[in-house]
């Protein structure tokens, strides 16, 4: 219930009103309704195939959840969603005990699906904390090696706790963690990975709207000016870390054009050895569950709507020649 009592930060809302009215037009008003009303937010439940419970699955179905499906979904990926607002109870971390499920925004699975990891591939999750996308990757395939990187010390501990909560010890042998600046990984591990996920640090629209004070809000708005440069550096580093023929997925949880399409376009203009991958098939087959913006280039943008309160989530895919 604490989430419902949080106050909207007027400084951030005014800034978003100006920015997103310009970028999204009339769509911003319907998106704003969801972002500013936590009571409308929906949450998905990703079952852990290392510890899945038939009883949990039955319980979800009894409470109105249905399985999110797509023709390219692996059978091992079981995500359940409910069109009604509300959150399934989370499971607390207990040392030595594997959790049965992970609570997430369903749109956060799209970068994982777009990356399309195959068994045995070497994968880098460059900005991995809190670990939800790493967990989802492991539900889709069995990478030969999964490198989970998170430079922030506190968030790195959170990442390691997530992995310990969802991955049995024998499977941890294929997973490594680090606290490197992602912008350096391309030089330190050049041409080392088949697939790279860059879920970049961004101006998280949902959380920023609930900034605790005006000073924090002003700092965050100021930070927006420098984020695209950092994000572009991360994406370029990811490309350097890829083997020829490998692919990278860039994602954020913001509506910001400057942090989404503009970053990808900037990198494409400066890196001649990569091409953009069309993700329209993914959008077309999931349009009954997600609302996608029709005015985005270089990727997909999920717009939160009442009854489909997923996102924001921007996803773009590049392949290295």
What is the DSSP secondary structure assignment for residue 6, as one 8-state letter?
A: P
Give the closest residue to 195 by CA, choosing from 144, 244, 246. 246
8 A C-beta contact, residue 103 and residue 39: no
**Which amino acids are annotated catalytic?**
253
Name the phi and psi angles at 266, rounded to 5: -60, -45
Q: How far apart are CA 255 and CA 314, in angstroms?
A: 7
The helix/strand/coil state of 199 is strand
State the alpha helices, DSSP H only, in 167-223: 169-172, 182-188, 205-208, 214-223
Q: How far apart are CA 16 and CA 70, in angstroms?
A: 33
Count of Cβ atoms closer than 10 Å to residue 198 Cβ:
27
Helix 153-166 to helix 132-140 angle (10° resolution) is: 30
8 A C-beta contact, residue 149 and residue 177: yes
Give the closest residue to 37 by CA, choosing from 66, 6, 76. 6
8 A C-beta contact, residue 40 and residue 85: yes
CA angle, corner 129, sides to 299 and 223, nearest 5?
A: 65
Q: Which residue has the tokens 């989970």?
A: 148
8 A C-beta contact, residue 188 and residue 240: no
Q: How far apart are CA 316 and CA 298, in angstroms?
A: 6
Terminal Cα-to-Cα distance of the chain (whole angstroms): 50
């Amino acid at each position: 219930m604490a989430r419902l009592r949080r106050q909207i930060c007027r400084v951030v809302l005014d800034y978003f009103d100006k920015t997103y009215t310009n970028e999204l037009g009339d769509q911003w008003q319907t998106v704003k309704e969801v972002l500013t009303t936590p009571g409308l937010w929906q949450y998905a439940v990703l079952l852990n195939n290392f510890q899945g419970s038939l009883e949990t699955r039955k319980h979800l179905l009894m409470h109105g959840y249905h399985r999110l499906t797509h023709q390219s979904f692996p059978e091992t990926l079981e995500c359940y969603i409910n069109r009604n607002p509300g959150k399934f109870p989370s499971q607390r971390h207990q040392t030595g005990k594997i959790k049965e499920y992970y609570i997430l925004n369903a749109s956060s699975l799209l970068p994982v699906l777009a990356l399309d990891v195959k068994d045995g591939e070497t994968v880098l999750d460059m900005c991995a904390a809190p670990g939800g996308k790493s967990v989802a990757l492991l539900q889709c395939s069995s990478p030969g090696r999964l490198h989970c990187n998170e430079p922030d010390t506190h968030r790195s501990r959170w990442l390691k706790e997530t992995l310990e909560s969802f991955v049995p010890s024998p499977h941890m042998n294929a997973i490594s963690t680090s606290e490197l600046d992602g912008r350096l990984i391309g030089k330190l591990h050049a041409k080392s990975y088949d697939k790279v996920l860059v879920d970049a640090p961004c101006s998280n629209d949902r959380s920023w709207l609930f900034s605790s004070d005006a000073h924090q809000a002003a700092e965050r708005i100021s930070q927006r000016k420098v984020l695209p440069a950092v994000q572009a550096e991360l994406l370029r580093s990811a490309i350097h870390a890829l083997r020829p023929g490998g692919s990278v997925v860039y994602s954020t949880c913001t509506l910001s054009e400057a942090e989404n399409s503009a970053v990808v376009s900037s990198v494409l203009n400066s890196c001649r050895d990569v091409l953009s991958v069309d993700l329209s098939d993914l959008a077309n087959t999931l349009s009954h569950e997600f609302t996608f913006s029709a005015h985005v280039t270089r990727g997909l943008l999920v717009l939160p709507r009442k009854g489909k309160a997923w996102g924001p989530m921007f996803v773009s895919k590049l392949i290295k020649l």
